[in-house]
């Protein structure tokens, strides 16, 4: 069967009539979600609302059998993975919760659906030796090299999301305490810490490279070559450029450095609750995924050190 892109069914008029624009604005302003996250919600909801338009369903009064039909469409026609289906249904549920909150409509159909079990995917991370190799790549005698080296260093030192990193302002940093005030998901404030190595690179960048780049007197810490705030996409490209100059063959994502931060802390004995707070997770459930990795490390240590296990 030919694939139908239901997102094309949604026009500007429908976006307003279906409260999609106001929902996305709510996610951006009140929930403080990143542009990437809001974009993901938009794609998921445009596909669903386009599906409703195509079949002449009212999304406000959509009943359970029709919700099941959409789930079946994702399964059988789109051949989506369980994780993708779960994300799309979660986006729809969030949309309906918003509509109920605004007294527009209440529709529990998608809350009643049984979702596929997600495949357990362990987070990928870098070994410390691989990170050390990456740290040697940026040139410390150029403005862009100083910036790129600090980006890499700060991601690993703090475990920040890239969306949080690019929004750091100089006024958020305490140099004496070596802390940064971060406004994370859901407008939640937290404090993250950095080390003496990060502090040295930070001071070098501020006193040299950033001064040369700051043509627009920006309040943001990380600037692009034109003096404006750097984007999350540019950070991704910078990391890809760094790893291309190493012997590492892994596919890199900024989140891998965040995963490395959490995994290395746990391997060195940090407790799970502290890692949860440093990462800015709302619950231990999200943080506990790292225990699967550290459990492998514990098993390795046990097999190497227990007298009976060695035999």
Annotation marks residue 258 as catalytic: yes
Q: Contact, 143 vs 212, CB < 8 A?
A: yes
Please tell me the distance from the alpha carbon of residue 207 to that of residue 188, in angstroms, as a whole number.
Answer: 31
DSSP H or E segment with residue 275: helix 272-279
Place of tokens 């009539």: 17
Active-site position among 161, 210, 259, 264: 161
Q: What is the phi-psi region of residue 103: left when phi exceeds 0, alpha when psi lies from -120 to 50, beta otherwise? A: left
Annotation marks residue 26 as catalytic: no
Of 212, 234, 92, the closest CA to residue 151 belongs to 234
- What 3-state class would DSSP assign to 223? strand
First vs last Cα of the chain: how many Å apart?
Answer: 59
Annotation marks residue 200 as catalytic: no
Active-site position among 69, 87, 185, 234: 185
Active-site position among 69, 124, 234, 281: 281
Please tell me the distance from the alpha carbon of residue 165 to that of residue 238, in angstroms, as a whole number.
Answer: 14
Active-site position among 147, 167, 258, 259: 258
Annotation marks residue 193 as catalytic: no
Place of tokens 């794609």: 43
Please tell me the distance from the alpha carbon of residue 74 to that of residue 84, in angstroms, as a whole number.
Answer: 9
Active-site position among 6, 96, 156, 290: 290
Please give the positions annotated as active site.
161, 185, 255, 258, 281, 290
């Amino acid at each position: 069967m030919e694939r139908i892109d239901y997102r094309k069914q949604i026009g500007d008029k429908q976006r307003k009539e279906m409260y999609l624009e106001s929902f996305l604005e709510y996610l951006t302003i009140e929930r403080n979600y990143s542009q990437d996250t809001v974009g993901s919600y938009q794609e998921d909801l445009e596909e669903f609302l386009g599906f409703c338009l195509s079949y002449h369903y009212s999304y406000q009064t959509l009943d359970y059998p029709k919700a099941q039909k959409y789930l079946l469409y994702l399964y059988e026609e789109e051949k989506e993975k369980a994780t993708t289906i779960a994300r799309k249904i979660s986006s729809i549920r969030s949309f309906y919760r918003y509509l109920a909150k605004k007294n527009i409509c209440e529709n529990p159909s998608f809350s009643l659906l049984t979702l596929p079990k997600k495949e357990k995917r362990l987070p990928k991370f870098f070994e410390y030796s691989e990170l050390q190799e990456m740290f040697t790549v940026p040139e410390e005698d150029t403005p862009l090299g100083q910036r790129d080296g600090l980006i890499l260093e700060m991601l690993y030192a703090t475990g920040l999301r890239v969306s949080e990193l690019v929004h750091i302002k100089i006024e958020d940093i305490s140099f004496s305490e070596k802390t940064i005030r971060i406004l994370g998901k859901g407008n939640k404030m937290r404090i993250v810490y950095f080390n003496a190595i990060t502090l040295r690179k930070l001071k070098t960048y501020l006193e040299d490279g950033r001064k040369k780049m700051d043509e627009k007197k920006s309040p943001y810490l990380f600037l692009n070559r034109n003096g404006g705030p750097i984007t999350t996409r540019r950070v991704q490209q910078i990391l890809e450029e760094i790893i291309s100059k190493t012997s590492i063959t892994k596919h890199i994502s900024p989140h891998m450095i965040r995963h490395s931060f959490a995994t290395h802390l746990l391997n060195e004995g940090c407790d799970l609750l502290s890692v949860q707070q440093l990462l800015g997770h709302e619950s231990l459930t999200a943080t506990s995924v790292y225990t699967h990795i550290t459990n492998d490390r514990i098993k390795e240590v046990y097999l190497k050190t227990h007298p009976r296990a060695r035999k």
